[in-house]
A and B are shown apart, each in its own frame.
Chain A
């Protein structure tokens, strides 16, 4: 069975600081991995995805994530936080079958202070 674990339900950073949100996965088949973001009172939107091409994936708004098979990790980073990055972030995994539902982590709330 597939699963994802997000380490830390809340992360607080200062504006301009590095953002690091942690995600570890478990999968018996090659995984496809995703990060979604949810801004207040909105639905989720895709930040980036790993689908077995490049292990370093760049997404929107300056975010990137690196797939590390040896560590079963897919951590999300951004070099310099902005106030507008404050949101809830979800890591998700699916098998390599088209149309298969995603399995989401429990989410990490990112707070950014000035």
Chain B
């Protein structure tokens, strides 16, 4: 069974803290994604990676950075957390190849609260 795991389901941090959200997939997928989900706004792409050490900005990268040192792991970093980064964060992965085009596998999400 395919699996994407995220390090925490719930996280509470203080303004100004450096926050790491970790995502691991066991499907040997090339592509990995970080989204944030907010009510009424749907999912918005923060960053994605199509290979180890490669990254691309999504629609809302400001205030975030990412790291992909190994194929199975994609980390989202909030350099200095702010209250407007309180949100649900979803990680996803997908293989490369026409047959699986667009099918992303999602983790359960991390609900981050910044106080």
A92 contacts B102, C-beta separation under 8 Å: yes
- Please indicate the chain A residues that have their CB under 8 angstroms from the CB of B58 in the complex: 101
Residues of A within 8 A of B (CB): 9, 32, 34, 41-46, 49, 51, 90, 92, 94, 96, 98-107
- Please indicate the chain B residues that have their CB under 8 angstroms from the CB of A9 in the complex: 40
- Please indicate the chain A residues that have their CB under 8 angstroms from the CB of B43 in the complex: 44, 90, 104
| Interface band, chain B | 20 to 34
A99 contacts B30, C-beta separation under 8 Å: yes
Q: Which B61-115 residues have C-beta < 8 A from chain A?
A: 90, 92, 94, 96-98, 101-104, 106-109
A90 to B18, CA, bound (A): 31
A43-B33 in contact given A99-B94, A101-B45 (Cβ < 8 Å):
no
CB of B12 closer than 8 Å to a CB of A: no
B106 contacts A104, C-beta separation under 8 Å: no
B98 contacts A43, C-beta separation under 8 Å: no
